[in-house]
Amino acid sequence: MGRDGVGLMSSFPFYISRRYLFSKKSTNVINLISFISVVGVAVATMALVVVLSVFNGFHDMVAGFFTQFDPQIEIVPAMGKYAPADAPELTKIRQFPEVEVVTESVEDQALTIYRDQQSMVMIKGVDDNFSKLVNIQNILYGDGAYELHVADLQYGIMGIRLAQSLGTGARWDGYLNIYAPRREGQLDLSDPMDGFVVDSLLSPGVVFSVQQSRYDKNYILTSIEFARNLFGCDGELTALELKLKPGVDVDAVQKKMQKVAGDKFRVLNRYEQQADTFNVMEIEKLMAYIFLTFILVVACFNIIGSLSMLIIDKKNDVETLRCLGASDKQISSIFMLEGRMITLIGAVAGVLLGLLLCWLQQQYGFVRLGSSSGSFVVDAYPVSVHYIDVAIVFLTVIAVGWLAVWYPVRYMSRRLLEK
C-alpha cells in the first residue's frame, strides 16, 4: 500500500466519525442525546471557568485591601515575638540598595477602655515614616489628620469597626486608656493593677478602614515610642517593615534577604504575611474545582449513552465497513473519535461561554452581592480570569471526557464486532 493509501486509511476513522456525529440518525433520540452530551460538557466547563474566576476575583480583591496596610516585605523573628532592633542581620538588610523605606514596628495585645466600653486590641506602633511605607492616607476617614504624636502627646488611629464597638467615633473626647501586662518585675498581689502598664492615647480625628475585620475590628495604630513604653520593649521590635524601590524583583530580593537573615529571622512578602487567609481561599477554590469536576464526570455519562446507542444503531454499517476492508481497530476508533469530538466541542464551547460570562460580569456586574448598593465591599461578584486556570479547566475536561468514553466504547464495539 502506498503513501496515499496509508493516509487514506489513517483519516478514514475520523471521516466516518465526523459523518456519524453531524448526520441525521435513523433514531432521532440519538441526535438529541448527542446534543445533550455536548451541552452537558459545555455547561460543566463553563461553570468551572466562571467559579474559578470568581475565586480569583475575591483573591485579588483581598490582596488589594491588604496592600493598603501591609508592608511589601516584613522581617519577623523566627523564634519568639521580640528581637533587638540593632541585630547585625537587620542592620545589613537595612543597607540593601533595593530598599527605599525602612520602618520598625512593635505589635502586641492590650486592653483598651473608653468610658464603660472595653475591648482587647492589637496595638501597632510604627516609625514616623510609616506613611511612606504604605498608602495609609487612602484608607483614613474623618475630619482630622494622620498624626501619631505631637511633642509629648501620643495619638491613636483606630480601625473603623473598633471605633464603632467602643462608641468613640472618628474623634473621641478625652483619653483612651490602654492596659498591657508588665513584662518584667514581680507582681504585687495586694495591688492587681501593679501587674499592668497603663497609658493613654488621644484622638487625631481619623479612623482607618482596610475593609478586613482583622484590622478594622482589632487594630490601633500609634507611635513606636508609645508601644515600646507600653510593652516594656525599649530597643526591641516585633517586625522590620520594608518598601522596595520601583521596578525591583521582589522575589529575588526576598531570597537574598533570607540568606542574610539566616535562621534567626523570617522574610515574608505580602501573601506570606496573610498566609492563613490565602491558604483558606486556595483550599476553597480547590474544593470547588473538585466538586465541579465530579459534575463534569456525571455529564460525561451522557456521552457514554449516546455512543452506546450509536453503536447499536450502526450495526449494519459496521458489517459494510468490514466488508470494505476496515479493521476492527479502525472501527473501534470511529466511535472513540466521536466521543472525543463531543468532548472537544463541549470543552471549546464551555470555555468560550465561560469567558463571555466573565467579561459581562466584569463590565456590567449583572450578578450582585446584595440588593442595595454599598451593603458589601463591592456591589457585584468580582471576577478575575487567570488563563492558567482556563488551560487547566480545558485539559481537565478533555482528560475526563476521553477517559470516560475509552472503556465503554471498547467494550461495546468489541461486543458488536464479535457478533
**pLDDT of 201-231, one tens digit each?**
999 999 999 888 889 999 999 999 999 999 9
Residue 206's DSSP bridge partners are 142
Residues 6+ apart with CB under 8 A from 274: 62, 66, 70
Which tens digit of pLDDT belongs to each residue from 133-171? Answer: 988 888 899 999 999 999 889 999 999 999 999 999 888
Residue 160, classified by CB atoms within 10 Å of its CB into exposed (0-12), middle (13-18) or buried (19+), is buried
How do beta strands 236-237 and 176-181 pair?
Answer: unpaired
* Per-residue pLDDT tens over the stretch 355-381: 999 999 999 888 887 665 555 667 788
**Model confidence band, residue 411 (pLDDT cutoffs 50, 70, 90):** low
CA pair distance 260, 344, nearest whole angstrom: 52
**Three-state DSSP state, 367:** coil
Here the cell at position 275 is 498566609
Q: Which is it for the CA torsion 37, 38, 41, 43, positive or negative?
A: negative
Q: Which residue has the higher pLDDT, 368 or 418?
A: 368
Instruction: Label residue 4 by pLDDT band (50, 70, 90).
Output: very low
**What's phi and psi for 186, nearest 5 deg?**
-90, 145
Residue 108 and residue 81 in contact, taking contact as beta carbons nearer than 8 Å: yes
Four-residue CA torsion sign, 162, 368, 370, 290: negative
By C-alpha distance, which of 44, 45, 48, 103 is closest to 73? 103
DSSP annotation of 155 reads B
Mean pLDDT (the chain, rounded): 84
Q: Determine phi and psi for 244, rounding to 5 degrees.
A: -90, 160
| Angle in degrees, CA 308, 314, 318, rounded to 5 | 115
pLDDT of res. 319: 65
β-bridge pairing 140-142 and 236-237: unpaired
Helix (H, G, I), strand (E, B) or coil at 291: helix
Which range, of 199-213, 276-290, 323-337, averages the lowest pLDDT? Answer: 323-337
CB 213 within 8 A of CB 156: no
Give the burial class of 30: count Cβ atoms within 10 A of its Cβ; 0-12 exposed, 13-18 middle, 19 or more buried.
Answer: buried
> What does the pLDDT read at residue 25?
53
For 185-206, the pLDDT digits (tens) are 555 555 556 678 899 999 999 9
Is pLDDT above 80 for 3?
no
Poorest-pLDDT segment among 16-25, 86-95, 362-371: 16-25
Which comes out higher in pLDDT, residue 292 or 69? 292
pLDDT of residue 49 exceeding 80, the answer is yes
